[in-house]
Structure 1
Amino acid sequence: MATILYQDQFLPRDRGRVDMEDRGYQFGDGIYEAIRVYGGRLFLLDLHMKRLERSAGELRLQLPYSIGHLTDNLQTLIEKNKIDDGLIYFQITRGAAPRKHLFPEGAESVLTGSAINLPRRSAPGEAGIKVSLIDDIRWLRCDIKTLNLLGNVLAKQEAHEQGSEEAILHRGNTVTEGSSCNVFIVKEGRLVTHPADHFILNGITRLFVLGLAKKLSIPVEERLFSTEELFSADEVFITSTGAEVTPVVRIDNQLIAGGRPGAVARRLIDAFNEEVARIRTAALS
């Protein structure tokens, strides 16, 4: 049976319980991170932990353990579940207290975590995906990685019902991000992506890809771009912990780049794969 993390304990999954008055359950009052595991190692861990600390600070939520202690427990969770390629999910809520909107006095933060095997796609980026353009109805602090994801869920479900794998969101004429990813377009060899303000989550894979682009001397513009620019782009791709770098070849009923992944996305996918291969080699040594 799978092992989960509850506070500072490792328990069988069937012993995991949520208090009826936990504020994460009642208000979505909490934060989370999802971290990719390659070769049994946490990928881009430092960036994830820095974002966790920022999210906690923005919500004035007390982390129950030090980052070092939490990291050790996450690595132990990987080992107990025998994860090679997988995903670690953990969340921290403000704790359990009688239900009221004000922050409760004396409540203790609650941490839970789980690990799953998630093999990489055999040929990531070869075919590309279809997405749907959906109105962005979320709140105005999308930069905080909170448990409040209903707007994202509704967008993803709408896209699914349209036969798409992802929703690309827009506020008015401005493209923001995906329901669970960041969005990049390519125009005349230049990457364009929405700036990391309060309208998007500054994705860890987004940051990693920006770093890869710099190494590959691919010009980048972090600026607002329109739905018209999206549809007329030379290439479109998304990035996330789960999707890595995934080309978009169709938006609604319109083909992008002739329905084939573009050259810039392929260069970034190759660079991403090289980094994963390096991690695997280091894990075996």
Structure 2
Amino acid sequence: MILTVYFKDGQFTEREGLNISIDDRGYYFGDGVYEVIKVYGGELFTAEEHIDRLFQSATKIKMTIPYSKEQLMEMVRELIVRNSISIGHIYMQVTRGAAPRTHQFPGSTVASVVTAYAVSNPRPMTSIENGVAVKSVEDIRWLRCDIKSLNLLGNVLAKQEANEANCVEALLHREGVVTEGSSSNLFGVKDGTIYTHPATNLILNGITRQVVLGISEKLAIPVVEKSFTLEEAYNMDELFLTSTTSEIMPISSVDGRSIASGTPGVLTRKLQKAFTLQIPTSNAGV
């Protein structure tokens, strides 16, 4: 039997040896941050960008990560090897540590807790090829969505509402102004121009979002980082979402209303093709 190897506080261990304290502040308060890094063909994709953002999120909540970026990079590479991951992802999180429950931060003697694991999973090719249905949900999250924190209850409730409506994702909006998905960023295409919410405190500046912006610039596709309304979303020529695990995923309908013909659009396909060319090729079609 092959057991998954985990990382915790400098040690690699099998699941049975992974102990998390009940006093961990991640458990009590969601007091921590996390990242998900994609693996293609046994190689990390945009790992430096993800680890940079992990440190940025930690800084925003005044938390110290007890490892350097280079040490974390070495750790995630080792997880790939130890778990024989060909295509999948790494999950990594940092909490403020274990201490008696008080709302204020514990003293400086309490060390942050770093954990990580690797998961094998295929690319969601059916959804990438055909598109997915989404449901609009009021965005009730806190006002620091730019921090990739463990406080995800608003996201979870939105995702569940979408799931109960047989939709893959929730399209979040604040009083009718579209922000992002419950676990993704959103893009609309109208008259050959791509629109997406600017990277403010109201969205997470996704790494795949940044890759798409870079691809669009190289392909000379106009991009306007400007919010659009739910009504405008219904009438887009194309809609798509992006995330580490979803890549560039077309949206075929919102609230049961087809987007244009209900099939992936020309610009979405163009971006998907360019994205695929950037990832390690050995398992690009898996």
Q: Secondary structure at the match of 1:32?
A: strand
Residue in structure 2 matched with residue 43 of structure 1 by the alignment: 45
* Percent identity of equivalent pairs: 49
- Quote the offset at 1:280 in angstroms: 3.2
- Quote the offset at 1:67 in angstroms: 0.6
- Quote the offset at 1:85 in angstroms: 0.6
- The TM-score normalised by the length of structure 2 is 0.96
Residue in structure 1 matched with residue 94 of structure 2 by the alignment: 92
- Quote the offset at 1:146 in angstroms: 0.3
Residue in structure 2 matched with residue 235 of structure 1 by the alignment: 238
1:136-184 deviation digits (Å, cap 9, x = unpaired): 0000000000000000000000000001000000000210000000000
- The TM-score normalised by the length of structure 1 is 0.96
In 2, are the aligned partners of 1:125 and 1:266 still within 8 Å (CA)?
A: no
Residue in structure 2 matched with residue 25 of structure 1 by the alignment: 27
Structure 2 unmatched runs, 5+: none
- Residue 185 of structure 2, aligned match among 171, 174, 182: 182
In 1, are the aligned partners of 2:127 and 2:250 still within 8 Å (CA)?
A: no
In 1, are the aligned partners of 2:250 and 2:264 still within 8 Å (CA)?
A: yes
Q: Which runs of 4+ in 1 moved over 4 A?
A: none
Cα separation, partners in 2 of 1:189 and 1:120, compared to 1, 3 Å: same
2:100 is the alignment partner of 1:75: no
- Residue 146 of structure 2, aligned match among 143, 148, 155: 143
- Quote the offset at 1:125 in angstroms: 2.4
Structure 1 unmatched runs, 5+: none
1:231-274 deviation digits (Å, cap 9, x = unpaired): 11000000000100000011111000211110000000111111
- How far apart, in 1, do the equivalents of 2:125 and 2:101 lie? 47
- How far apart, in 2, do the equivalents of 1:150 and 1:54 lie? 21
Residue in structure 2 matched with residue 162 of structure 1 by the alignment: 165
- How far apart, in 1, do the equivalents of 2:55 and 2:118 lie? 21
- Quote the offset at 1:120 in angstroms: 1.6
- Residue 16 of structure 2, aligned match among 14, 17, 20: 14
Residue in structure 1 matched with residue 213 of structure 2 by the alignment: 210
- How far apart, in 2, do the equivalents of 1:44 and 1:187 lie? 29
Cα separation, partners in 2 of 1:156 and 1:122, compared to 1, 3 Å: closer
- Quote the offset at 1:281 in angstroms: 5.7
Aligned length: 281
- Quote the offset at 1:31 in angstroms: 0.3
Cα separation, partners in 2 of 1:144 and 1:204, compared to 1, 3 Å: same
